[in-house]
Structure 1
Amino acid sequence: MIDIPFTLDQLRILKAIAAEGSFKRAADSLYVSQPAVSLQVQHLERQLDVPLFDRGGRRAQLTEAGRLLLSYGDRILSLCQETCRAIDDLQNLNGGTLIIGASQTTGTYLMPRMIGLFRKKYPDVAVQLHVHSTRRTAWSVANGQIDLAIIGGEVPPELKEDLEILPYAEDELALVLPILHPLATVNVLQKEELYKLQFITLDSQSTIRKVIEQVLTKSGIDPRQLSVEMELNSIEAIKNAVQAGLGAAFLSVTAIEKELQMGAMHRVAIEGVEIKRTLCQVRNPNRYRSRATEAFCNEILPLFSDHLAVASAASI
């Protein structure tokens, strides 16, 4: 039997130093002393007979051997966590943790309602929600850091063969106007009338904006000729700007249900144009699938797939 020249604690220390960039900050994050961290690294380097850090600079930089060990160490620690969760899962949903990922709009407006319903049914299961970009979320699923995710963007091509990607629901992006806008008295606009509007948008690299521009282009509308009044970095900021009368915007119906019901903004259709994107459920088929994950997928997700369709129709 081969002696393993490192411990899980040493792998955790290595990961913390790489993340924090210094031995001191790593020690603080792990609630141990800096000498203890330094001593463990020295033992690890002695056991492996290779240096793991370049100690010449101000920031702790991994050597090639250090980067290799960190890569395998991440996988080992992830598998250890998965093992513990699989054992906890034997308790028939009387404990354990469900980790869900989502891209920005879905994570902000849809997931909290899903989690609320799940927690009512399974109050003993702890739920974590990680809201990040589609790319980062997909990588977290691939690495086993997230059990499942609902995303609205494109999964990175290099991950498509490793992940299970299932269409989940259609999310409609509606054109909304301030309630005092001159065109707020009509329900349908002609395509050419879009060029008369002042738009508030997310930045040009956002997934939602790319979807909108692609659909408009296919519908014979040139997005480059639309007048963009301002670019904001959040959906909430755009909603507030529309309600303040600063311009029009394309927003997901999941994000504006309350505002439309309250009459705080006016939704208007575009003749012959419907802007939708497909939300996808993403899972890693090679990872252990807990009972909590199965319960969420089988009992919660179908309810909100129907809810999205109803919300889209009701907001017209």
Structure 2
Amino acid sequence: MSDLPFTLDQLRILQAIASEGSFKRAADRLYVSQPAVSLQVQNLERQLNVPLFDRGGRRAQLTEAGHLLLGYGEKVLALCQETCRALEDLQNLRGGTLIVGASQTTGTYLLPPMIGMFRAKYPDVAVQLHVHSTRRTAWSVVNGQLDLAIVGGEVSSELAGSLEVLPYAEDELALIVAVSHPLAGREVIEHEDLYELQFISLDAQSTIRKVIDQVLGRSGIDTTRLKIEMELSSIEAIKNAVQSGLGVAFVSTSAIEKELAMEVLRTPKIDRVTIKRMLSVIYNPNRYRSKAAEAFMEEILPHFANPKPEALPVEIEASEVGDPASEEVPL
């Protein structure tokens, strides 16, 4: 068998350029010089005898051959990382890495206390948390780039077939208003009151926005009459805007514990309406599951399940453990 026409370093460089869209930014990310990156790409193209990038535009664009090599290259690199984690496991949790994924709300408010508990028990294990959209996170779990993830959005059918998806915890979404808002003193508001409010929200394509619209619609509320005055990109920005009196919003109750304790926000109930969604734990049953991942799933996850299903730890213990579409706004 002849030597392979590429090296792992070249695949890492190709992946970095595709991710960053720039030879210079890829070089900065890999802590090498830009000429070194350019030379490696030139050598790779010469060895393969195909162009991998279109040089005409300002952004580094992959050719068809470049996309093909990137797809296989990412699988090769993921398998290499999996091999390293398996070897690290021989140290019996005296080292190694746990890589966890999450959608925006779970990654910001739920995962940090989980990781804190895990680190207290296993201080020698390095932990990485990757926060992206539900779809991108699910792809990363399928491809072996993440050990497991907790997501709030629905996993698409094309990915669900390659994943174990376990219902994990209920997450309630509450209407929040500033303490100075006219509705702050009311325990319950009527459906018609919603049409007079100015709402601050995530993008219309975000999963959390879709969940809210579906539940309100099933409750007889015409969501097309709601006045969306502002769309922001993060939950923290939305909370700050509400506190400043710019409008009201629906957010996860897990995101406002501090504000409620400080009494800077109020959460009036909507008559006969409760908005809830199910968070899910996802992992790839066909990939190697590290001892760190096993410990996290068996020792940490059950502490935060809500409600606490008695079967959850048993289900987890009993299990073995193409390109994503354009990125949606994270949940």
What TM-score range do you get, normalising by the shorter chain? 0.7 to 0.9
What residue ranges of structure 2 are gaps of 5+ in the alignment?
310-331
Map of 2:267 onto structure 1: 267
Residue 15 of structure 1: aligned partner: 15
Structure 1 residues 119 and 3: CA distance shift in structure 2, 3 A? same
Name the TM-score, length of structure 1 as normaliser.
Answer: 0.88
Stretch deviating more after TM superposition (23-32 or 121-130): 23-32
1:171 and 1:308 in contact (8 A); partners too? no
Deviation (angstroms), 1:145? 1.2
Q: Is 2:218 the counterpart of 1:181?
A: no
Aligned length: 309
Taking the aligned partners of 1:280 and 1:295, their CA distance within structure 2 comes to 18
* Corresponding position of 1:240: 240
Any residues of structure 2 matched to 1:244-263 within 5 Å, and which? 244-263=244-263
Is the 8 Å Cα contact of residues 170 and 308 (structure 1) preserved in structure 2? no
CA contact (8 A) 2:101 2:132 kept: yes
**SS in structure 1 at match of 2:259:** helix
Q: Write out per-residue CA displacement over residues 88-120 of structure 1, whole angstroms, 9 at most, x where no aligned residue.
A: 012111111111111111111111111111111
For 1:313, the equivalent position in structure 2 comes to: none
Aligned residue number for residue 207 of structure 2: 207
Q: What is the aligned-residue identity percentage?
A: 72
Which residue pairs with 2:6 in the alignment?
Answer: 6
Aligned-pair Cα RMSD in Å: 2.5
Output aligned runs, 1:1-316, within 5 Å: 1=1, 3-21=3-21, 23=23, 26-33=26-33, 36-54=36-54, 60-306=60-306
Residue 199 of structure 1 contacts residue 230 of structure 1 at CA under 8 Å; is this kept in 2?
yes
TM-score scaled to structure 2, two decimals? 0.84
Change (3 A) 1:12 1:268: same
How far, CA to CA, are the matches of 2:177 and 2:53 in structure 1?
56
1:221 maps to amino acid: I
**Change beyond 3 A, Cα 1:48–1:302:** same
Once residues 176 and 23 of structure 1 are traced to their aligned partners in structure 2, the CA distance between those partners, rounded to angstroms, is: 45
Q: Quick one: distance in 1 between partners of 2:180 and 2:21?
A: 53
Deviation at 1:19, TM superposition (A): 3.8
Aligned-partner Cα distance in 2 for 1:26–1:184? 50
1:249 to partner: Cα distance: 1.7
- Secondary structure of 1:129's aligned partner: strand
- Gaps in structure 1 of 5+ consecutive residues: 310-316
Q: Distance in 2 between matches of 1:157 and 1:48?
A: 36
Distance 2:271 2:57 in 1: 62
TM-aligned CA distance change 1:160 to 1:56, over 3 Å: same
Q: Secondary structure at the match of 1:153?
A: coil
For residues 220-271 of structure 1, the C-alpha deviation after alignment (integer angstroms, 9 at most, x for no partner) is: 0111112333222221122122222333221110001111122221111122
Question: Match of 2:245, SS?
Answer: coil
- Displacement of 1:200 after TM fit? 2.1
Q: The residue matched to 1:184 in structure 2 has which SS? A: coil
Distance 2:306 2:56 in 1: 59
Q: Distance in 1 between matches of 2:103 and 2:170?
A: 15
- Asked if the contact 1:254/1:308 (under 8 Å) is kept, the reply is no
Distance in 1 separating the partners of 2:58 and 2:240: 44
Comparing 189-198 with 94-103, greater Cα deviation is found at 189-198
